[in-house]
Chains A and B, each alone.
Chain A
Amino acid sequence: MKTGSLDRLRSRITSIDAMPTIPVILRPLLRCLDQPAEQIDVGRIVELVSYDKSIAAQCVRMANSALFGRSQPVESVRTAFMNLGMWRVRDLLFSNSLSQVIPANRWIVDPVVFWRHSLGCALVCRKFAEIIGYADTEKAYLAGLLHDIGILVNSMVVPVEFRATVEKASREQIPLDEAELATLGFTHSDSGRVLGEAWKIPHDLVQAIELHHDIGDPGRGGPLVALVHLSDLLCRLRNLGYGYYEPRQVDFANEPGWLYLVMQFPNLADLDLARFTFTLDEYAKEVGELVATVFAS
Chain B
Amino acid sequence: MILLEETQTTLKGWTFEVIATDLNDRSIAKAQEGIYNDYAVRYVPPDFMRKYFTQSGSGFRVSDSVRPYVTFTRLNMLDDSKMLFMRGIDAIFCCNVLIYFDGKSKTRTVQHFYNALLPNGYFFLGQSESLYGISEKFRLVHFPGATAYWKAAESIQKTGAA
A residues apposed to B, CB below 8 Å: 234, 236-239, 241, 245-254, 272-275, 277-278
Would you call B145 and A238 a contact (CB within 8 A)? yes
Taking the complex as formed, is B8 at the interface, i.e. its CB lies under 8 A from any CB of chain A? Answer: no
A-B CB contact pairs (8 Å), 28 listed: A234-B142, A236-B144, A237-B145, A238-B142, A238-B145, A239-B144, A239-B145, A241-B144, A248-B143, A249-B143, A249-B150, A250-B142, A250-B143, A251-B139, A251-B140, A251-B150, A252-B142, A253-B140, A272-B132, A273-B132, A273-B140, A274-B129, A274-B131, A275-B130, A275-B132, A277-B142, A277-B147, A278-B128
Taking the complex as formed, is B127 at the interface, i.e. its CB lies under 8 A from any CB of chain A? Answer: yes
Give chain B interface residues in 98-154, CB to chain A under 8 Å.
125, 127-133, 139-145, 147, 150, 152
> A238 to B150, alpha carbons, bound, how many Å?
18
Q: Shortest distance in angstroms between A268's beta carbon and chain B's nearest beta carbon?
A: 13
Kindly report which residue of chain A lies nearest to residue B128, judged by CB atoms. Answer: A278
Would you call B141 and A275 a contact (CB within 8 A)? no
Would you call A249 and B142 a contact (CB within 8 A)? yes
Q: Which of A246, A247, A274, A277 has the largest count of B CB atoms less than 10 A from its CB? A: A274
> A236 to B144, alpha carbons, bound, how many Å?
7
Q: Shortest distance in angstroms between B24's beta carbon and chain A's nearest beta carbon?
A: 28
Would you call B144 and A274 a contact (CB within 8 A)? no
Q: Shortest distance in angstroms between A113's beta carbon and chain B's nearest beta carbon?
A: 14
Kindly report which residue of chain A lies nearest to residue B139, judged by CB atoms. Answer: A251
Complex partner residue of B144 from A248, A252, A253, A272, CB under 8 angstroms:
A248
Would you call A237 and B142 a contact (CB within 8 A)? yes
Report B-chain residues with C-beta under 8 Å of the C-beta of A241: 144
Total contacting residues, chain B, CB less than 8 A: 18
Complex partner residue of A247 from B127, B128, B144, CB under 8 angstroms:
B144
Report A-chain residues with C-beta under 8 Å of the C-beta of B130: 272, 274-275
Would you call A274 and B147 a contact (CB within 8 A)? yes
Would you call B145 and A275 a contact (CB within 8 A)? no
Report A-chain residues with C-beta under 8 Å of the C-beta of B142: 234, 237-238, 249-252, 277
Report A-chain residues with C-beta under 8 Å of the C-beta of B132: 272-275
> A239 to B143, alpha carbons, bound, how many Å?
11
> A247 to B142, alpha carbons, bound, how many Å?
10
Would you call B144 and A246 a contact (CB within 8 A)? yes
Kindly report which residue of chain B lies nearest to residue A277, judged by CB atoms. Answer: B147
Q: Shortest distance in angstroms between A226's beta carbon and chain B's nearest beta carbon?
A: 17
> Quick one: given A251-B139, A251-B150, are A245 and B144 in contact (CB under 8 Å)?
yes
Report A-chain residues with C-beta under 8 Å of the C-beta of B128: 275, 278
16 extra interface residue pairs, beta carbon distance < 8 Å, beyond A247-B144, A249-B142, A277-B147: A237-B145, A238-B142, A239-B145, A245-B144, A248-B144, A249-B141, A249-B150, A251-B141, A251-B142, A252-B142, A253-B139, A272-B133, A274-B130, A275-B130, A275-B132, A278-B128
Report B-chain residues with C-beta under 8 Å of the C-beta of A245: 144
Would you call B141 and A250 a contact (CB within 8 A)? yes
Report B-chain residues with C-beta under 8 Å of the C-beta of A248: 143-144
> A236 to B145, alpha carbons, bound, how many Å?
9
Q: Which of B125, B129, B141, B150 has the largest count of A CB atoms less than 10 A from its CB? A: B141
